[in-house]
Amino acid sequence: MENKSSKIANIITSAVFIVFVMGFALALIIKGDREFSEMENRTLAQKPEVSWKNIKEGTFSTDLESYISDQLFAKDELVTLKTDLDFMLGKSYQNGVYLIEDSGLRYVQKYEENRTQIAENVGCLNDFAQSLSVPADLILVPNVSAFTLDKLPAGAVCDDQKQSIDYVGSILSERISFYPMTEALSESYGNWYYRTDHHWTAFGARRAMERYLLSSGQIQSTDEMPGIEYVRAGEDFYGTLYSKAPVSQAVSDTFYYGDNVGVQEIEWVNEGKISDSILDKSFLDKKDKYASFFGGNFAQIRIKTGHEGGRALVLKDSYANSAVQQLFTRYSEIVMVDLRYYHMQEKDVSELVSDYGIDRVIMLYNMDFLNEDRNFVWLS
């Protein structure tokens, strides 16, 4: 009798498993394939090509596994369910982010200092500055982890970005004027950073650039800052950190953008695109709202502001995308270069400085980027 009951139980378990697998397979066929995941902000794997060559080389099975994983029915909902269960069980660190209580739930990206990489990257900046005959400034921005270390769970592994920023200052060339933004953003940091994203808000960008322009003597008072009208684009912004660990308890961010600082012309140099606005408003209806600034990151963007002033070249990461409009009224032209994509295509950056008649080089990076990125070698 016991053996018979065991067999029945095994049959039921197998039947449930088969129904489950068949159901998900049928749902995958009915719903069709997705090309892009808003949650993961990436292109998804598509059906692999069936050929004897692919099967023989083993690429078919690998591609098929990626396809099934990417196209799994209700994948986003299943991932959220898993992270919800983990969070309920007290797992506050998931996929590279800490979930902390900070007047509500906040996502904090783990930071592990890599002094070797920092020194290498700063060395590239120093060497580049030696080739310049114009002023060079480094605006270095901490991430929110710099202000929330005391709120992380016991045993959390997260280094202090304030110490990293101090280290950068100690090895930075005298040819580069240093503008760390730790103090400027420490007070009321909740206003300057998103809860669910690693970027700063439009207001954090304005605050930092205001401090930079004052400290560098480019303006004498805040009255000289551009009059930007900030527009609320919705209260449903869930950023990149949320995508790493989506939990139901997360509170969405309110997304603002500046809308009334006009420019004459913006040219996406490699793409051949021209516009009179930094905004790609199509992204305001998508999950990745931060990409509405310039439509994301590009190798080289040339901005003619229509204002009087010199010319600036901005070496940048994505933090600069929401900050550069604070410079429009100070310069007649701004050239933005992102070394992740600008790999000396036609001219090195020093040649761009000369050819464009640049009067000042502004380097704007967040500390996590300077700690990890390996593209600063393209300055040489």
Q: Which tens digit of pLDDT belongs to each residue from 129-151?
A: 999 999 999 999 999 999 999 99
Distance (Å, whole) CA 298 – CA 270: 8
Distance (Å, whole) CA 165 – CA 375: 19
Q: For residues 33 and 207, which has the higher predicted lDDT (pLDDT)?
A: 207
Distance (Å, whole) CA 90 – CA 94: 11
Confidence of residue 55 (pLDDT cuts 50, 70, 90): low
Q: What is the phi-psi region of residue 334: left when phi exceeds 0, alpha when psi lies from -120 to 50, beta otherwise?
A: beta
pLDDT at 27: 44
For residue 223, what are the CA distances in angstroms to 167, 220, 238, 362? Answer: 34, 8, 33, 22
pLDDT at 9: 45
pLDDT at 17: 42
The domain limits of the chain are 2-82, 97-379
Per-position DSSP letters for 108-121, written without gaps between them: EE-----HHHHHHH
Q: What percent of the chain has pLDDT over 90?
A: 72
pLDDT at 25: 47
Q: Which tens digit of pLDDT belongs to each residue from 74-97?
A: 566 676 678 778 888 889 999 999
Q: Which tens digit of pLDDT belongs to each residue from 330-361?
A: 999 999 999 999 997 778 999 999 999 999 99
Q: Which tens digit of pLDDT belongs to each residue from 1-19?
A: 555 555 554 555 444 445 4
Residue 280 contacts residue 291 (beta carbons within 8 Å)? yes
Q: List, in order, residues 6 or more apart from 280 with CB less than 8 Å away.
A: 291, 292, 293, 294, 295, 296
pTM of the predicted protein model: 0.83
Q: Which tens digit of pLDDT belongs to each residue from 294-333?
A: 999 999 999 999 999 999 999 999 999 999 999 999 999 9
Phi and psi at 289, nearest 5°, equal -65, -30
Confidence of residue 21 (pLDDT cuts 50, 70, 90): very low
